[in-house]
Chain A
Amino acid sequence: MISFLPYAVAAWLIAIGLYGIVTSNNLVHLVVCLSVVQSATYVLLLAIGYKTGGQAPIFADIPVGTTAVDPVVQALSLVDIVVEATVTALLLALAVQAHKRFGSIDPDDLRPLAG
């Protein structure tokens, strides 16, 4: 049971986040839903690298050679989180400008920009 549960959580996050994006009527809500989809990648990465009984890959107080989880996927999720935070900020900035231009943050109210 536990052997596939983390993967099921990742799939569920993708599905529920996409549902939020598709049915969203608020740009801020839409950006948050995108973050939910992205958080599936953290769950998936960390789940792949986990080793039963493994320690954190920090050998400051445990001897080298101790069973530890995979450091590569942890490094990937780390930069993933920072980059996601700034990209989210960029999308929210677009939402601010959309509200200024159209007076609404409902994606349905956005019209093509006249060149």
Chain B
Amino acid sequence: MSLRGRRALFLVSIPVALLVLVAAFAGLPDFGNYSGVYGRALNLIAVPQRHATDVVTAVNFDYRAFDTMGEEFILFAAVLGLAVVLRSMREEHRRASHEADEEHKFDEPSSLLRAFGVLLVGPVLVIGLYIVSHGAITPGGGFQGGVILAAALLIVFLAGEYLAMKFVAPHALVEFGEAAGAGGYVLVGFGGLVFAGVFFKNFIGLGDPAHILSAGTIPISNGAVGIEVAGAFVLLWTEFLDQALVIRGK
């Protein structure tokens, strides 16, 4: 269909869709007058029941840990699909086989970028670990911290060389980390099944609230998800960078 035709069809149909949306939104509570029962109940019971002061993390990794497992595997499947879509074709593989040649195809980083990158890697790594490990206490957790951990490796690439990043994070290790994180999360679930009788039910001591070793299995799940998300994002970036090499090599 032509661009003009598509635009005309859109302009005719979008008012209808918006009308349906407005009708649906009209049934929602006014902004600021939230009245849901579950949120209020969880805000009251999460700290006494799970010893987790960050209720958002308690919801994700305890109360609806089973759903999070599904979402975690959406992430896993999406990155797996990306790796399949971007797998190198037979003739591409031959072209990019000389690793030493690859390095020349990316521009050298400027000295300023190199200096800031070297300064940033350590702090970003520490922040990532902090965010992952304190998920049950303050805002954060495996998903957010995992992305920050992956960013630290991206800085290695920006400040140094692509080979340096591949040296710090070899493809096989990254893939293993992603799979181990996903599997580890499921193992926490099975731990609940074996030791407490219910999938993902907490089976270890709860500790003191706001202490780093508190909230039962939540920090373990957070660690597993953190490893998986970090692995997934590094894998995703290396796949795209490999593509850039293949395309520049043409």
Contacts and interface: CB of A to CB of B under 8 A. Distances in A.
Nearest to B78: A86
Contacts of B10: 18-19, 22-23
Contact of A71 (B39, B48, B239): B39
25 contacts: A11-B22, A15-B18, A49-B34, A51-B32, A52-B32, A57-B42, A59-B55, A71-B56, A71-B59, A72-B42, A73-B39, A74-B56, A75-B56, A75-B60, A78-B144, A79-B60, A79-B143, A81-B143, A85-B147, A86-B75, A89-B240, A90-B78, A90-B82, A96-B240, A97-B85
A72 B36 CA distance: 10
A93 B59 contact: no
Contacts of B236: 86, 89
B31 A5 contact: yes
Interface residues of A, number: 54
Given A59-B47, A71-B56, A18 B14 contact: yes
B186 interface: no
Interface of B: 3, 6-7, 9-10, 14, 17-18, 21-22, 25, 28-34, 36, 38-40, 42-44, 46-48, 53-60, 64, 68, 71, 74-75, 78-79, 81-82, 85-86, 137-139, 141, 143-144, 147, 210, 229, 232-233, 236, 239-240, 243, 247
Nearest to A71: B55
A58 B60 contact: no
B3 A82 contact: no
- Give chain A's interface secondary structure class: helix
